[in-house]
Chains A and B, each alone.
Chain A
Amino acid sequence: MNTTHVHQKDPAAYGRVLFDMKEKEVHKISAPFRIRFRCTIQKWVDWVCFPLLAPLIIFILKYVQKNRIRDLKKVRMLFKRIAGESKIPTLICANHLTKVDSIYIHHAFASLPYYWRHFRLFSWNIPAKENFWTKPLDRLVTYLGKCIPIVRTGSPEHHKEVLDTLRYLLARGELCTVFPEGGRSPDGRVNVQNVRYGVGTILNGLPDYRVLCVYMRAESQKKMSDMPPKGDTLYFDFKVITPQSMQTGRRAERDISRTIIEKIKEMEDLYFEKHKP
Chain B
Amino acid sequence: MEEKDIFEKVIEILKPYVRETEDLKTATKETDILNDLKVNSSRLVDIILAIEDEFDIEVSDDEADEVQTIGDTVSLIAGKI
**Number of A residues, CB within 8 Å of B:** 11
A149 in the interface, Cβ–Cβ < 8 Å?
no
Q: Which residue of B is nearest A152, CB measured?
A: B41
Of A153, A196, A250, A251, which is within 8 A of B42 by CB?
A: A196
Cβ of B18 to closest chain A Cβ, rounded Å: 14
**Most A CB atoms within 10 A — which of B40, B41, B45?**
B45
Cβ of A182 to closest chain B Cβ, rounded Å: 6
Of A156, A195, A196, A250, which is within 8 A of B48 by CB?
A: A250
> Given A182-B42, A194-B42, A195-B42, does the pair A156, B49 have CB atoms closer than 8 Å?
no
Q: Which residues of B contact A254 (CB under 8 A)?
A: 45-46, 49
- Complex alpha-carbon distance, A197 and B49, angstroms: 12
Q: Which residue of B is nearest A195, CB measured?
A: B42
Interface residues of chain A: helix, strand, loop or mixed (majority) = helix
Contact in complex: A250, B65 (CB < 8 Å):
no
Query: What mask results when residues 33 to 68 of chain B are scored 1 for a CB within 8 Å of chain A, else 0?
Result: 000000011100110110000000000010001000
Cβ of A168 to closest chain B Cβ, rounded Å: 19
Contact in complex: A156, B65 (CB < 8 Å):
yes
**Number of B residues, CB within 8 Å of A:** 9
Please report the number of residue pairs spanning A and B whose Cβ atoms sit closer than 8 angstroms: 19
- Complex alpha-carbon distance, A195 and B48, angstroms: 16
Cβ of B16 to closest chain A Cβ, rounded Å: 10
- Complex alpha-carbon distance, A182 and B40, angstroms: 11
Q: Which residues of B contact A195 (CB under 8 A)?
A: 42
Q: Which residues of A contact B45 (CB under 8 A)?
A: 197, 250, 253-254
CB-contacts of A188-202 with B (<8 A): 194-197
Q: Which residues of B contact A253 (CB under 8 A)?
A: 45
Q: Which residue of A is nearest B62, CB measured?
A: A156
Cβ of A125 to closest chain B Cβ, rounded Å: 19
Cβ of A35 to closest chain B Cβ, rounded Å: 20
Contact in complex: A251, B40 (CB < 8 Å):
no
Contact in complex: A194, B65 (CB < 8 Å):
no
- Complex alpha-carbon distance, A250 and B48, angstroms: 9
CB-contacts of A137-167 with B (<8 A): 153, 156
- Complex alpha-carbon distance, A250 and B47, angstroms: 11
Q: Which residues of B contact A153 (CB under 8 A)?
A: 41
- Complex alpha-carbon distance, A196 and B41, angstroms: 9
Cβ of A152 to closest chain B Cβ, rounded Å: 8
- Complex alpha-carbon distance, A251 and B65, angstroms: 16
Cβ of B47 to closest chain A Cβ, rounded Å: 11
6 A-B pairs with CB atoms under 8 Å apart are A153-B41, A194-B40, A195-B42, A197-B42, A250-B45, A253-B45
Q: A156-B61, A197-B45 are in contact. List 5 more A-B contacts (CB 8 A).
A: A195-B42, A196-B42, A250-B49, A250-B61, A254-B46
Which are the 3 A-B pairs with shortest beta-carbon distances?
A: A156-B65, A196-B42, A197-B45
